[in-house]
Structures are given as structure tokens and as C-alpha cells.
Structure 1
């Protein structure tokens, strides 16, 4: 019975870590592979390998880096296969490694910006958060948003533009001196 509890804990840990890193892993793969269906295939193969090899993962180390390294090998295999099929221009392994290194160097700064963005969004008025949710969460067109919030399309574009600029300034400024409501609004 002890073994099944450990297996359950192991599966729960894997699922939690994968969920935390899944978007960044997908972005990483898309850095190298432009086709969404090819990227999905590589991601699927990577996730299968990660699960099968999860016993090799050292807890307390960087799961994201480990997952990206696993994806990198699958990307290399994919690109080599495409090259031998004569379907695409193929980057050398050295070039691929340089791209991977550049991606890794920017991971921390991207994570910091995402955290700052989340903080800046939380400071927005509820109405502005609603507009952002409609636009980027529900992926509605601006005319649909305008109808939902009872504004003209032009006014909705202006509000979205001001909110975006405010968020950009907040993120780039580290969140200091962020004005979340009256200057952006109306």
C-alpha cells in the first residue's frame, strides 16, 4: 500500500511541475519549430519522455530547465529528420545550442516581467480588468467588447490602448508609481 501512495505523490508532483512549466515549454519549442502541429507533436513526445524519466529528475532542481533540455533533444531529432527528408532548411547543432542558450538566459527576466504584469493587472480597476479579460481571456473582438460594456468601438479602442500603455509602463518601471484607475480610464 505504501508504494501506491508514493506513486500517487509522484504523479501529483509531476502534474504540478508540468502545469507550472507547460506554457514556457511550449514557447520554447515554438522558438525552434514554427508549425503548431509539429510543435504539438514535439511537446507530446517530450511530456511522455518526462513522465517515463521522472524518477531521474532530482527534486529541488529546476524542472523547467530539465524539461527544456528534454525538449531540445526532441527538437534536434525533428530538425535532423526534416533535413534528411529535404523538406526544410536545417540549422546546425551549434546554432540550435546557441538559440537554446539565448532562451535560457532570458527565462528569468521573462518570469520577472510576468510577475510584474500580474501585479500591475491586479492594481487595475475591476472594469479595466474585465475589459482585458474579455479581450485576452475570452479573445473577443473589440466590437464585441464594446457591445458588452455599452461603449462605442472607438471608446473601447481608446480604453484598451490606455490600459495597455499603463501596463507597459508599470511593467517596465517595475510597478512603481503605477496609476491604475482614473488616468487610464474613461
Structure 2
């Protein structure tokens, strides 16, 4: 993969995982400003070491590991703080977040599979509402439907997606056992 493609891959993966990575760091650091600083440092370290990241493996897990080490480095620098968590506590939190992240990633994957099974007009309505952020009124005008009809459609689609995700997650849990 050429360097520009690799840079694009890094930006794409980081953008996809940034919100959860920020929440992860916030669970281990008492002050939001410190968490922001640690997150920025972690991003720099990730970029510098991205050549070591193996494409196709779990970027989220790799990024959390980098962030965890940045939290430990922060703790060493800021040892004077009174509100300081033990390293054992941080490791426990890290493990809990890792398990939660894996469940969220699985849910997201199943949700995308369920959305792909929807009829095109239902996918279009979801796209307009949740990706473009259109109001029901704007959607009604664009799709030439009533607000009430769109409200009912989106309600049915959300219900179908909930059922699909629940069923597929249940099936995958049973297969794992």
C-alpha cells in the first residue's frame, strides 16, 4: 500500500473509532482537559507507529492499547495528583471497556447487515433522516410523502432493525457456545 493510501486508511480508521477512544480515555482520567491531551498524544503515537499496524486487524483494540499506555505515561508525569487511580484499577477498567467495545463493534456490524437487507426506499429514508439529518418535514417534501407517513415508516423500520439485530446477536451468541 502506498504512503498516501496508508495515510487515508489511518484517517478513516481513526475517524471511525475516535468517539469511543475518547470515551475510553475519559473513563481513566479524572479531568476532561487531561483526557483531551492524552488523546492527542495517543493519536500522534498511533500515527508514528501506524506502519506497525497490520491492516485487517482490530484497529479499535490497537488504538485503545496505545491510549492505555499514554494514560500510564500521564500518570507517571502527574503522580502528584490526589485523585489518582491505581494501575490495577486502570487495567480493570481497560478490560471492561475492551469487552464493551467488542460488543459494540459486533452490534454495529450486525446493524449494517440488517440495514443492507432493507428495501431501497427504507434505506433511503434512514439515510436522509440519520446521515443527512433531515427533519421529517424536509424529508416529506423531498420524498413527496406526508410527515405522518414518514413517521410511521421510520417507526416500522426501527422496529424491524431492532428485531433483526436482536435475532442475529442471539444467533451468533448461540453459535459461539
TM-score by length of 1: 0.67
SS class of match (2:2): helix
* Structure 2 equivalent of residue 154 of structure 1: 148
Q: Are the structure 2 counterparts of residues 96 and 126 from structure 1 closer, same or farther at C-alpha, using a change threshold of 3 Å?
A: same
- Range moving further from structure 2, 145-154 or 120-129: 145-154
- Offset from partner CA, 1:36-59 (integer Å, 9 cap, x none): 987665443322111223455567
Cα contact 1:26–1:43 (8 A) shared by 2 = no
Task: Work out which structure has the larger RCO, using CA pairs closer than 8 Å and 6 or more positions apart in sequence.
Answer: 2
CA distance in 1, matches of 2:5, 2:36: 23
Aligned with 1:168 (options 148, 162, 170): 162
Aligned-CA RMSD value: 3.7
* Distance in 1 (alpha carbons) for counterparts of 2:88 and 2:136: 44
Would you say how many aligned residue pairs link Structure 1 and Structure 2?
167
Could you state the TM-score of these two structures normalised by the residue count of structure 2? 0.69
Find 1:48's aligned residue among 25, 44, 51: 44
Q: Which structure is higher in helix share?
A: 2
Question: 1:154–1:15: structure 2 CA closer, same or farther, 3 Å change rule?
Answer: same
Structure 2: runs of 5+ lacking an equivalent: 171-177
Contact 2:107 2:165 in 1 (8 A): yes
